[in-house]
Amino acid sequence: MGHLVMRALVGSALTALALALSPAKAEKIQIGCTATSDCASAMIAVDEGLFKKHGLDAEMVLIGINSNIPAAILSNSIQIGGPTSTVFLQAADGGLDLVAVAGASIMNKTSNDAIAAFVRNGVTITGPQDFRGKKVGAPGIGAFLHVLFVKWLVEKGVDPKSINFVEVTFPTMADTIKSGGVDAVLTAEPFVMRMTNANLGTVGARYAAELARTEPIIFYAASREWAEKNPETVKKFRAAIAEAAPIVNNDRDKASAAIAKFTKQPLDLVKLTTPNHAEPVLKPEQLAWWIDVMSTQKMLQGELDLNKLILD
């Protein structure tokens, strides 16, 4: 009997030791982004094992329209999403308790030059005034490219209400332009090059280049409740994104491979364009310009507290 007890004790001790020595099970999170390079730091962190290194089992989820990301976060179908600055601020203004947890991408000359209003064949645009009366597709009403375009129109003396805006996702823009469903789309590389090469139309305006801003395009956000309940997960996420950002900015091959894999675009096409600049640090003052622009466009109803929008 003594031997059986001893064997049982030894067996229990060995099991406990094995459990103690085995690696802890990685926390599973889902990260939702649209088919652009703005979330490239998260894509790299998945592909290069940086999330795993920090104890996260992260999965990227493709979201069709950016304005759907806040709802996806709050329904917990994703825990972290990459809304544009404008979508995030509108959601927060509407009472959704979201908080930014890390920076994703910022505007710079490269990203601004990549943005365009692409016009289908048969439509002539010689200046901002020619957009009056046109049907223009945007990848989300109130999203980044739409708000920038409206800002540009206002600066050029064109009433945005004179334009019929509709939502068109990035992957369907070429077909929508080809079918004549819209007169123009607000888009960016590599979609501009793809549609140009397919002889579907021409660039009507490089409106972001003319505005020449440096504020955030997209940042990573979560529900405040989830972020406050999972501070260690947020810490690990930030650490992985901080490691991934320099790879996005300095290793074109790795960045292109990760972007092509997530967005399901041909690698050769993705390699032709520089990813938007990754910036993992996000500061309240970086959102001030967006709030001013959106307030002017009457997109915000209340007063947003900049210091509460970003998780400490």
- Residue 79 and residue 61: Cα distance in Å, rounded? 11
The pLDDT of residue 85 is 93
pLDDT of 27 reads: 87
- Establish if 57 belongs to a structural domain: yes
Taking CA 164 as the corner, what is the angle to CA 96 and CA 35, rounded to the nearest 5 degrees? 55
In 3D space, the residue among 219, 237, 220, 222 whose CA is nearest the CA of residue 74 turns out to be 222
Query: CA–CA separation, 134 vs 151, rounded Å?
Result: 17
DSSP reduced 3-state for 29: strand
- What's the one-letter identity of residue 212? A
Tokens describing residue 160: 């945005």
Residues 176 and 294 in one domain: no
In angstroms, the CA 214 to CA 287 distance is 11
| End position of a domain, from candidates 191, 211, 231 | 211
pLDDT of residue 273: 82
Residues facing residue 155 across a β-bridge: none
pLDDT of amino acid 7 = 54
Crossing angle of helices 252-263 and 40-47, rounded to 10°: 100
Are 102 and 225 members of one domain? yes
Cα within 13 Å of Cα(180), Cβ side? 3
Of the chain, the end-to-end C-alpha distance in Å amounts to 59
Cα distance between residue 220 and residue 104, in whole Å: 6
Residues 86 and 121 in one domain: no
Number of domains in the chain: 2
At 270-307, the pLDDT tens digits run 888 888 899 999 988 889 999 999 998 888 988 898 88
Q: What's residue 70's pLDDT?
A: 96
Residues 182 and 234 grouped into a single domain: no
Q: Do 201 and 229 have their domain in common? A: no
With a cut of 50, which residues of the chain have pLDDT below it? 1, 4-6, 8-10, 13-22
Return the structure tokens found at 291. Answer: 């709030």
Q: Which two structure tokens, joined as six digits, stand for 89?
A: 């601020």
Q: pLDDT value at position 76?
A: 94
* CA 262 – CA 62 distance, rounded (Å): 7
CATH number at residue 35: 3.40.190.10
* pTM summary value: 0.79
Indicate the residue among 155, 188, 211 that finishes a domain: 211
Does one domain contain both 223 and 102? yes
Q: Identify the CA nearest to 36 among candidates 234, 218, 297.
A: 218
Place of tokens 């999965």: 59
pLDDT at 127: 95
Judge if 200 and 129 occupy the same domain.
yes
CB 123 within 8 A of CB 49: no
**Pair 201, 265 in one domain:** no
Does 58 fall in a domain?
A: yes
Domain end call among 190, 211, 232: 211
Pair (181, 169) in one structural domain: yes
Q: Kindly provide the residue ranges of all beta strands, DSSP E only, lying in 2-124, ordered along the sequence.
A: 27-33, 56-62, 80-81, 98-106, 115-120
Other Cβ atoms within 10 Å of 135 Cβ, number: 17
CA dihedral 31, 263, 273, 191 (to 10 degrees): -120
Do 102 and 182 fall within a single domain?
A: no
Containing domain of residue 207, as a range? Answer: 110-211
CA distances 163 to 10, 120, 130, 137, Å, are: 77, 16, 10, 10
Q: Give the pLDDT score at 71.
A: 95
